[in-house]
Structure 1
């Protein structure tokens, strides 16, 4: 199935080889990944210079390569093509459109489907495993634990930790989990509310004889009426204080950030200190004196203001899940197609949007580490027991997955390429 492009002036593409000679130079025979990347960059350059004719011609060639049911390069290209069309439709709305389902429309899934989504490849489970092991060690001996959870996977991380706590030698601690009512509008989408998720977690904890409480941190109503994308972040920061979080002196506080920090804008927020929301968030959570902060995210830099830079980085990074899925799922697998659509959602935002609409602002593990150190945090190395648990997890996966240690990070790899990093931190001067 190809991505369909509607071109208002067919004469523009009667002889694309003439107009594309520069873009196609060196691309002989079938178009491999390097040639596809080259075409994507030429198309981006044409859009940035408002050369709609050349952009259309390049898209014509890409459309003959792209296929949502082809090999990994063809499937990845189809989503980049959608993203470029989405972008071009705003540059010149009358010249082209996409006659296919938009990547931005993704159906909500059930809890059972979400479990299958998480288990498909170790993209999320790697972070869950490393984090839960580190948290388990950090709260050893604690009778009461409060986890402040910022993530995009609807608390799928916590049943495993609850189960582990139920089996520890000493009595399981009283466990409280708090989540913000607002989450980034990104897949996976769940067909139930966060309150319903909390009820399910509570029932699971009861079955494991773990005392449990679930809280939802609601937005500040005085901020939520603003017609400004930043109100979510302002509201969130305004609620991260001991009073609103109902912090209790006898609880060990852990802050968990799983594939989430990237959604806090890195632009200056106009506050007195001229810091970004991201830095203000880190300063704020440092102020509540957590026992540990976990940060897990994808190991790539996708925050550049340059479209061509984002295309290069994104294309050379997001081939990983497409390639990994190719190893064990048939080309027409609905599970594979839907998982790839979620990656396509990300690509469309990275390539198709700018300003506050571009919410995918990923930074690599090394940059995150420097940001944390600049913010007054010390790294906590993962111990050998945690490393062993992650290795057991990866032994259950396809042979291409691996793990390495970089400084104090654990990094998930696919065929030697970094994909996801996990880090653990404590604030300087943490008062236990």
Structure 2
């Protein structure tokens, strides 16, 4: 029965508006607020020219229709995104304020999703207002900028949800298979974060070493945007390697936001000039390039193509890619904010549903994860470059093949190991693992949420 349920097909879910009932405590305030916004929007348009009148009338019509339909929290989020797309920052902030005052980060899953999306939209409206010289409206959002998650929240996410562990475990197995027999191994980790991916791999390399030859030498170049985090990560990994008597070196590669973009144009022998440390490549090393939750940080197709060609020129033994899976196969870029919000809400509603089903109510760990990890992700996904998040395996795969890579199907052991991870640590009927198109997918119910693939 357990194996049977893991072979069910992962399919896109029905549209979110058919799955989420209106949030009861939001209904009255939402109807009143949208009606008020429609009135405000109509009156504010009286002093503008005819073109602005048409734009505002259209926005008022959207709000009036939503009010008549007794909108859900999702309806108001999408209405807010529509207003923001049209440039009506005042009405967009008022719509976001309604949700922020009525929704709660401690309520049910639909309420929590609405809260975090409203907060992200309010932050974006603030940024636009500031850029226009209008200042920031006070009282809705305390923080004006997203901050990286604390180590505690990141590690909690790794414990209560399978997404990171699934990506790390599956990518590690692909790397382990690719470097078998190598005496010197170099791993370029392009988003090293707190380094939680690597102790299991280092242990596996040490365990399978030939007693006569001894363990191979392993070197990790860990890239990231925060120097202190990378230094702490290096210290922890070196201490762990010493405890298992594995020859090990860690080199931090500090990348600013600009450097993350510039790295795609770097030569094959050195990294971007703005990186803190040069990327050293040794001809006697077997190279593995790890892109777990990294490619979406690159820009458009040209930048992605340049980055993949740069990686291909280094002749790695394996490149591992893990990224979020959007509904309907993914997009190269979603420029229209309402469309992007709808895609992102479908994805994160499933993630929040999964946490609600698997984590006890009132969990402090879940609250920290949703506020510091998922909340930050939602803010970034709705930001100016957030459309890059929703390419999906079809788009990543096409870009990799264009750069000269060939897909390397994951081993049967890698897939069975991922299923075992879920059964042992996340025994919910909702999580599913499926092997398809040479990749391994993790989903919730019928909704694929994450894919891991291997390339050479």
TM-score by length of 1: 0.80
Confirm or deny: 8 A CA contact 1:294 1:425 kept in the other structure: yes
Paired residue for 2:379?
A: 348
Judged with a 3 Å threshold, the aligned counterparts in structure 2 of structure 1 residues 233 and 51 are, in CA distance, closer, same or farther, namely: closer
Confirm or deny: 8 A CA contact 1:47 1:55 kept in the other structure: yes
Judged with a 3 Å threshold, the aligned counterparts in structure 2 of structure 1 residues 142 and 152 are, in CA distance, closer, same or farther, namely: closer
Q: Which of 310, 334, 343 matches 1:284?
A: 310
Question: Separation in 2 of the partners of 1:420 and 1:400?
Answer: 14
Confirm or deny: 8 A CA contact 2:33 2:98 kept in the other structure: no
Q: Which of 110, 129, 133 matches 2:169?
A: 129
Paired residue for 1:270?
A: none
In the alignment, structure 1 segments of 5+ residues that lack a partner are 1-10, 268-275, 427-432
Aligned residue for 2:266, secondary structure, equals helix
Q: Which of 260, 265, 269 matches 2:294?
A: 260
Deviations 1:274-327 (A, max 9, x none): xx2221111001001111110111112473111011011001111122111112
Deviations 1:232-268 (A, max 9, x none): 422574365269433222211111111011111116x
Judged with a 3 Å threshold, the aligned counterparts in structure 2 of structure 1 residues 372 and 124 are, in CA distance, closer, same or farther, namely: same
- Greater alpha carbon shift after TM alignment, 94-103 vs 258-267: 94-103
Judged with a 3 Å threshold, the aligned counterparts in structure 2 of structure 1 residues 230 and 169 are, in CA distance, closer, same or farther, namely: closer
Question: Separation in 1 of the partners of 2:348 and 2:218?
Answer: 36
Aligned residue for 2:358, secondary structure, equals coil
Paired residue for 2:120?
A: 83
Question: Separation in 1 of the partners of 2:413 and 2:259?
Answer: 42
Question: Separation in 2 of the partners of 1:140 and 1:58?
Answer: 56
Confirm or deny: 8 A CA contact 1:165 1:172 kept in the other structure: yes
Paired residue for 1:233?
A: 261
Question: Separation in 1 of the partners of 2:126 and 2:232?
Answer: 39
Judged with a 3 Å threshold, the aligned counterparts in structure 2 of structure 1 residues 117 and 38 are, in CA distance, closer, same or farther, namely: closer
- Greater alpha carbon shift after TM alignment, 298-307 vs 85-94: 85-94
Judged with a 3 Å threshold, the aligned counterparts in structure 2 of structure 1 residues 158 and 61 are, in CA distance, closer, same or farther, namely: same
Question: Separation in 1 of the partners of 2:146 and 2:91?
Answer: 29
Q: Which of 354, 361, 370 matches 2:389?
A: 361
Q: Which of 166, 189, 199 matches 2:235?
A: 199
Q: Which of 446, 451, 455 matches 1:416?
A: 446
Confirm or deny: 8 A CA contact 2:287 2:317 kept in the other structure: yes
Question: Separation in 2 of the partners of 1:103 and 1:328?
Answer: 32
Q: Which of 14, 22, 28 matches 2:65?
A: 22
Give the Å deviation of 1:98.
4.1
Question: Separation in 1 of the partners of 2:94 and 2:153?
Answer: 40
Question: Separation in 2 of the partners of 1:376 and 1:206?
Answer: 38
Matched, 1:68 2:105: yes
Give the Å deviation of 1:94.
6.0
Paired residue for 1:389?
A: 417
CA RMSD after TM alignment? 2.9
Judged with a 3 Å threshold, the aligned counterparts in structure 2 of structure 1 residues 172 and 354 are, in CA distance, closer, same or farther, namely: same
Paired residue for 1:109?
A: 150
Judged with a 3 Å threshold, the aligned counterparts in structure 2 of structure 1 residues 394 and 52 are, in CA distance, closer, same or farther, namely: same
Q: Which of 210, 214, 217 matches 2:253?
A: 217
In the alignment, structure 2 segments of 5+ residues that lack a partner are 1-31, 40-59, 272-277
Judged with a 3 Å threshold, the aligned counterparts in structure 2 of structure 1 residues 167 and 309 are, in CA distance, closer, same or farther, namely: same
Question: Separation in 1 of the partners of 2:97 and 2:198?
Answer: 47
TM-score by length of 2: 0.76
Paired residue for 1:298?
A: 324
Confirm or deny: 8 A CA contact 1:103 1:344 kept in the other structure: no
Question: Separation in 2 of the partners of 1:13 and 1:162?
Answer: 56
Give the Å deviation of 1:332.
3.3
Structure having the larger proportion of residues in helix:
2
Confirm or deny: 8 A CA contact 1:69 1:331 kept in the other structure: no
